Amino acid sequence: MQRNLGLDILRTGSISLVLLHHSGITIPQLVRPGLGGLGVEFFFVLSGFLIGNILLNQLQKENSFKTIKTFWYRRWLRILPAYYFMILLKFIFIDHSVGLNIIYYLLFLQNNFYGIQFYDVTWSLVLEEWFYIMLPFFLTVFLKFNGAKLKNGLLFFVLFIVGEFALRFIYVQLKGGNFSGLNGNVLLRFDSFMIGVILAYLKINYVTIFNKLNNKLLFFTSILGLIGYLFLINSFKNPVSYFDNSTLLKTFHFSIVSIFIGLMIPSFFFLTIDGINKKVAKVISFIFTNFSKLTYSLYLVHPLFYFVLLTFNPNYNKLFFFLFTFVSAIALYYIVEKPFLKLRDKKIKE
């Protein structure tokens, strides 16, 4: 998919929520999820939409293991180099106390089998990586059973999401579990991504339906619905305790948030700035396009700075946090991320 201004704006907004949260700027009344957690939920749905669009297009042309291998190759050259660089950088130069347990991080197993304390923000990357591994198999079977037909396709998607509800319900009944235990559990969080995949499915196969979702009333209703829902679950006397003890919320919460977000994506996808001054439009496009390109690097580097600054100066200047984070993200992007993206594109063409 070519760069899309609306989706770049959405990426920029999502990473901004994460950076604000970890810099200490947040909304006190927003506890479940926090500002950063909300930004990550936007990323999950958007990631499902973008990846679903790529993979469905490829598999509908050639439903084969060769297609799946090509998809994995592209994703891993996109994700792994910068991820491994930052993990090993911290392990070698800052904190090597995890010892051989670093293997859990290298294999994306830390969420379920070790813990995320060494590099906490990687919990979301674990979910994404395992979703990328699972999705091609789901869509292969999906297409074998004529999933391109609307009724069949929606049935598959509904069964998948209901299956996630069932897994979370069973998990809560057997193990209890608080918000954090559910939030980072690989098998219990794929429905957020799948809502994005459903949108990609409609965009590719049922353009009329997808276009109808580009609706101002629906867009603003979704925003108000999300705000209203978050206000409701945070309005209790102790929202953390209420959430952690509510089977209903722990079963359905993630999908509720993701559905509201998903209903906003078509409006972002079709967003244009054609009606404004060309120079202004060019500046806006330049800012959001380049900010969006740095999103992954920003996400990876920013924990190092809030960890170091909080350790040595709890009253640190927020400006330094953002300055160091952006300079480091630009360096990571141009030194590691971009060269591997070029290598990926070169190899695929060959």
Mean pLDDT of the 90-109 span: 93
* pLDDT tens digits for range 194-228: 999 999 999 999 999 999 999 999 999 999 999 99
Banded model confidence at residue 75, pLDDT cuts 50, 70, 90: very high
Q: Which long-range contacts does 120-124 make (Cβ < 8 Å, 24+ apart)?
A: 120/303, 121/18, 121/299, 121/300, 121/302, 121/303, 122/83, 122/87, 123/183, 123/184, 124/40, 124/43, 124/44, 124/184
The structure's pTM equals 0.93
Span of 21-25, 169-173, 196-200, 213-217 with lowest mean pLDDT: 21-25
